[in-house]
């Protein structure tokens, strides 16, 4: 059993480090005026990161395949979003598909 | 602050509320799972206030509960959170002037707030949805975690409700309009492929960062495609 003190220290380290990551951009951006091209590049970078999160979160659980139910659920959500369905329908559609498939015994 | 909520139309507010509800449900399960795995009741609440990043929190608690070194667990969580550095550069100008705003706004920076903000064309709406989504998510997430930590949970397995599919779908729906732009789409596709190809071998967090290499593909493609139009855009 690890001591409470080391858990508290670790939690503080995680919190402080995460804040430093979040604060770096806003803190530095007020000091320099960025050219429009760089500004655009930063936005594209954020989109690429979010897309990669979507890809890994829908297909993988750690280092392994997350299962057919989740992947299909996100896929259905993606098709609904692409067909310009309302946001609520996209999210509920994804969740309901995954939940339904699991009810049917699909992993 | 009130003008933030007024700028949001009803539809956007409803979308944010839906994400908040989903977050709260996962928060309840985070609180309950942490406490039921033998960790102190204050831990999930402290983490949720201080870290406010679901994936890193789940990872930290999972490693500590299974007997891992807490500092190593924190480092693992930090690696997952490095993506906030590029996020901060992308949305940094939304937070406004002044120390208090920048500190508070930085802490509210999560995947969903960034995605909601980038979706807006109008700068004022961008700022409004960033703050509205950030504040509501912070409140709902922490309330959910508190309920789960003290009350235990009826929803220990949120996967049964398909919540694990709901979150990627939220981000996908928010990111999709940005992919209409050819350079962005190409960069994202290459990025996703890199992330998926490296994920089985690398520690969590790194594959998503490596996806940024996809930017090279998007940009070189654009330069080759439209050499003349690229010039005035960067100059303006």
Quote the CA–CA distance of B8 and A104 in Å, as a whole number: 40
A14–B192 CB contact, under 8 Å: no
Residue B40 in 3-state DSSP? coil
Helix (H) or strand (E) holding B46: helix B42-50
Answer whether residue B231 shows pLDDT above 80: no
Provide the angle, in degrees to the nearest 10, between the axes of the packed helices A68-82 and A87-103: 160
Q: B232: Cβ–Cβ under 8 A, 6 or more apart, which residues?
A: none
Straight-line distance from the first to the last Cα atom of chain A, in angstroms, rounded to the nearest whole number = 34
Quote the CA–CA distance of A23 and A40 in Å, as a whole number: 20
Quote the CA–CA distance of A51 and B221 in Å, as a whole number: 19
B6 within 8 A of B125, measured Cβ to Cβ = no
A63 interaction partners in chain B (CB closer than 8 Å): 199-201
Q: What is the pLDDT of residues B51-67, one digit of tens each?
A: 999 999 999 999 999 99
**Interface test with chain B among A4, A22, A37, A99, by most B beta carbons within 10 Å:** A22
Calculate the CA A50 to chain-centre distance: 6
A95–B163 CB contact, under 8 Å: yes
Q: Give the residue on B whose Cα is nearest the Cα of A37.
A: B234
Please report the pLDDT score of residue B96 as a whole number: 86
Answer whether residue B223 shows pLDDT above 70: no
Long-range contacts of A37-43 (CB under 8 A, 24+ apart): A37/B233, A37/B234, A40/B233, A41/B215, A41/B219, A42/B86, A42/B89, A42/B90, A43/B90, A43/B118, A43/B178
**Interface test with chain B among A12, A19, A29, A53, by most B beta carbons within 10 Å:** A53
B175 CA to chain A: closest CA distance, Å? 7
B208 within 8 A of A60, measured Cβ to Cβ = no
B93 interaction partners in chain A (CB closer than 8 Å): 29
B51–A45 CB contact, under 8 Å: no
Question: Which residue do the tokens 């406010």 mark?
Answer: B52
B176–A11 CB contact, under 8 Å: no
Calculate the CA A56 to chain-centre distance: 9
Residue B135 has which token pair?
A: 């504040």
B234 interaction partners in chain A (CB closer than 8 Å): 35-37
* DSSP tag of B72: H
Q: What is the pLDDT of residues A48-100, one digit of tens each?
A: 999 999 999 999 998 899 999 999 999 999 999 999 999 999 999 999 999 99
A33 interaction partners in chain B (CB closer than 8 Å): none
Helix (H) or strand (E) holding B124: helix B123-151
Mean pLDDT of B191-214: 96
Please report the pLDDT score of residue A29 as a whole number: 84
Q: What is the pLDDT of residues B149-179, one digit of tens each?
A: 998 756 667 888 899 999 999 999 999 999 9
**Average pLDDT of every residue of chain B:** 89
Quote the CA–CA distance of A88 and B126 in Å, as a whole number: 20
Least confident of A7-11, A62-66, B129-133, B193-197: A62-66
Strand partners of residue A64:
A61
Residues 55-74 of B with CB under 8 A from A: 56, 60, 64, 67, 69-71, 73-74
% chain B with pLDDT above 70? 89
A106 interaction partners in chain B (CB closer than 8 Å): none
Question: Which residue do the tokens 């699991």 mark?
Answer: A102
How far lies B159's CA from each of A50, A102, B197, in Å? 21, 9, 25
Quote the CA–CA distance of B89 and A43 in Å, as a whole number: 8
Q: What is the pLDDT of residues B80-122, one digit of tens each?
A: 999 999 999 999 989 988 899 999 999 999 999 999 999 998 9
Q: Give the residue on A whose Cα is nearest the Cα of B59.
A: A62
B19 interaction partners in chain A (CB closer than 8 Å): 91
- ipTM field: 0.94
């Amino acid at each position: 059993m690890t001591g409470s003190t080391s858990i508290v220290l670790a939690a503080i380290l995680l919190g402080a480090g995460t804040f430093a990551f979040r604060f770096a951009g806003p803190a530095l951006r007020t000091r320099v005026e960025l050219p429009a091209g760089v500004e655009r590049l930063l936005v594209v970078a954020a989109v690429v990161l979010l897309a990669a999160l979507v890809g890994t979160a829908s297909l993988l659980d750690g280092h392994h395949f997350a299962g057919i139910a989740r992947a299909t659920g996100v896929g259905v959500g993606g098709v609904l979003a692409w067909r310009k369905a309302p946001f609520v329908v996209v999210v509920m559609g994804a969740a309901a598909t995954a939940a339904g498939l699991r009810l049917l015994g699909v992993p | 602050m009130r003008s933030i909520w007024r700028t949001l139309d009803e539809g956007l507010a409803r979308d944010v509320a839906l994400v908040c509800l989903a977050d709260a449900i996962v928060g309840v399960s985070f609180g309950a799972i942490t406490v039921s795995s033998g960790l102190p009741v204050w831990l999930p609440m402290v983490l949720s206030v201080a870290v406010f990043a679901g994936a890193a929190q789940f990872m930290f608690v999972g490693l500590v509960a299974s007997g891992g070194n807490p500092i190593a667990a924190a480092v693992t969580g930090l690696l997952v959170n490095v993506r906030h550095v590029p996020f901060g550069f992308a949305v940094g100008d939304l937070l406004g002037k002044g120390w208090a705003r920048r500190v508070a706004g930085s802490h509210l920076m999560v995947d969903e707030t960034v995605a909601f903000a980038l979706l807006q064309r109008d700068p004022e709406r961008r700022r409004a949805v960033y703050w509205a989504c950030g504040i509501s998510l912070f409140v709902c997430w922490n309330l959910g975690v508190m309920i789960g930590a003290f009350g235990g949970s009826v929803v220990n397995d949120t996967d049964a409700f398909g919540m694990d599919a709901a979150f990627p779908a939220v981000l996908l729906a928010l990111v999709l309009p940005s992919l209409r732009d050819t350079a962005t789409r190409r960069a994202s596709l290459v990025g996703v492929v890199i992330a998926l190809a490296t994920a089985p071998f690398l520690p969590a967090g790194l594959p998503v960062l490596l996806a940024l290499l996809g930017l090279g593909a998007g940009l070189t493609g654009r330069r080759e495609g439209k050499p003349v139009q690229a010039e005035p855009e960067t100059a303006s």
